[in-house]
Amino acid sequence: MIPKITFWRVVAVIIVIAGLYSTYLRLFGGLSASTNLSDDFPWGLWIGFDILVGVGLAAGGFSICAIVHIFNIEKYKPLARPAILTAFLGYLLVIFGLMYDLGKPYNIWHAIIYWNPRSVMFEVAWCVMLYTSVLFLEFIPVVLEKYKLHKLLKFMKKVGIPIMIVGVILSTLHQSSLGSLFLIIPQKMSQIWYSPLLPVYFYISAIGAGLSMVIFEAYLSARAFNKGIEADLLSRVGLISVIVLMIGFVIKLIDLIVSGNINLLLTINNYSLLYYLEVLIGIFIPFGLLIQKSFRENRRWLYASAVMIISGFLLNRLNVSISSISPETGVSYFPSINEISVTLMLIVLGMWAFKLIAKNFPVFTEEIHHEEFEAKLNETTIAN
């Protein structure tokens, strides 16, 4: 069947065609032919956005998993599957995106054989590999349920909790280690963003923004599948998100005061303005809105707040990885059209994959499984 031509489908196809052309340039022309990266500025949009933002926004998966399966707050269960799928696809795209940025992508497997345990990148590589495998195992019950493989499903449920605990540990290590990557370049970074506590900030902001990504993803799914949203659950998720982000901000503020770097914020320049913008749209405005029940339970304000939090998160990660480095190196960087088109293509591929999977597997159904149904019937029979 030929899909109906819609505005977004046309846009998506154009993006993918452009992305494929840029992929060709990257593969056959190398980094210099396809990017504005240089030896002076080796990490650009692909690392700043595809990796740092991609991994951070995938944190909704482990946050919701921890809430539902470890803290046993089961009412959030309907959000777990879409969050896990988002995280799983997010990590696959991170790996895919990394292949573009690596000078020799065909050597990506080296981290498995040639160990360098003192390198943060070694930790990042292993966490990405292991956590992607864990996300696959967390998502596999959906596939087993679809094909009614009840014995395997029962087994996966038995090992589910340990898997999820491993997932939370790996995520904690991974989210923070992305912040640790920047600990080796204090002299190259603006002190507004550099701090020995960067791993802590990366971890906290990933939880806050990841939870907002769960809200954003629910709205995208509602749009794609013409369905409703779990508004009551999402409004609570929004509240948790802004509280976490505010805790992160308070720690950062204390850090700036103790280190004496607070003075940098009293001087008005491009960098202090970027920081103010980051905290204003990413923390203060959403906090002011979502702390109030009337705004939190309003679907439009909830959506607007999630968009603001994600925007603030984008600013934060790109400020840390690009803005904060530019003034110190004396080199300016702006991504090439190829870098932009590849990034957009990865987002489109992620959305297509999500839609395809959600359409064919029980991602959004409330979890009342066959065994539970049978068990309930048996309980009733025994009781009678």
Partner 1 sequence: MVALFVVLTFLFFIILDLLVLKAQGKEHPAFAVKVFNKKFFFPMESLISTSHIWLQKVQNGMLKLGIDEFILKAFGKLNLIPIKNEGEFVNKGEPFLKAVFGNRTVLFRSPIEGKINFVNKNLTNKVVEDCYGDDWAIMIEPKSNNLNEFKKSSDAIKWLQEEFTRFKDFIAAKSNEPELAGVTLQDGGNIVEGVLRSFDDNTIKEFEEQFLL
Residues between 238 and 257 with contacts to partner 1, criterion CB under 8 A:
none
83 binds partner 1 (CB under 8 A): no
CB of 195 to partner 1, least distance (A): 18
166 binds partner 1 (CB under 8 A): no
**C-beta of 127 vs 192, nearer to partner 1:** 192
318 binds partner 1 (CB under 8 A): yes
Look at residues 82, 102, 117, 323 and name the one whose alpha carbon lies nearest to residue 222: 82
Rounded Cα distance between 16 and 323, Å, is 28
Rounded Cα distance between 306 and 113, Å, is 41
**C-beta of 21 vs 43, nearer to partner 1:** 43
Tokens 């799928």 belong to 85
CB of 362 to partner 1, least distance (A): 7
State both tokens at 300: 């439009």
Look at residues 357, 354, 335, 355 and name the one whose alpha carbon lies nearest to residue 50: 335
The maximal CA–CA distance of the chain, rounded, in angstroms, is 79
334 binds partner 1 (CB under 8 A): yes
Stretch that binds partner 1, among 149-157, 243-251, 283-291, 302-310 (CB under 8 A): 302-310
> Residue 65: which H helix or E strand, with range?
helix 59-65
State both tokens at 382: 């025994």
Tokens 């939370």 belong to 168
Beta carbons of 179 and 199 less than 8 angstroms apart? yes
Rounded Cα distance between 133 and 298, Å, is 37
**C-beta of 166 vs 362, nearer to partner 1:** 362
CB of 113 to partner 1, least distance (A): 35
Stretch that binds partner 1, among 41-49, 58-66, 172-180, 242-250 (CB under 8 A): 41-49
CB of 69 to partner 1, least distance (A): 13
Rounded Cα distance between 196 and 181, Å, is 11
Among 314, 346, 349, 358, the residue binding partner 1 under the rule CB under 8 A is 314
Look at residues 4, 92, 112, 10 and name the one whose alpha carbon lies nearest to residue 51: 92
335 binds partner 1 (CB under 8 A): yes
Question: What is the binding site for partner 1 (CB under 8 A)?
Answer: 7-8, 44-45, 48-49, 74-75, 77-78, 218-219, 222-223, 225-230, 232-233, 274, 293-294, 297-300, 303, 307, 310-311, 314-315, 318-319, 322-323, 333-335, 362, 365-366, 368-370, 373, 376-377, 380-381, 384
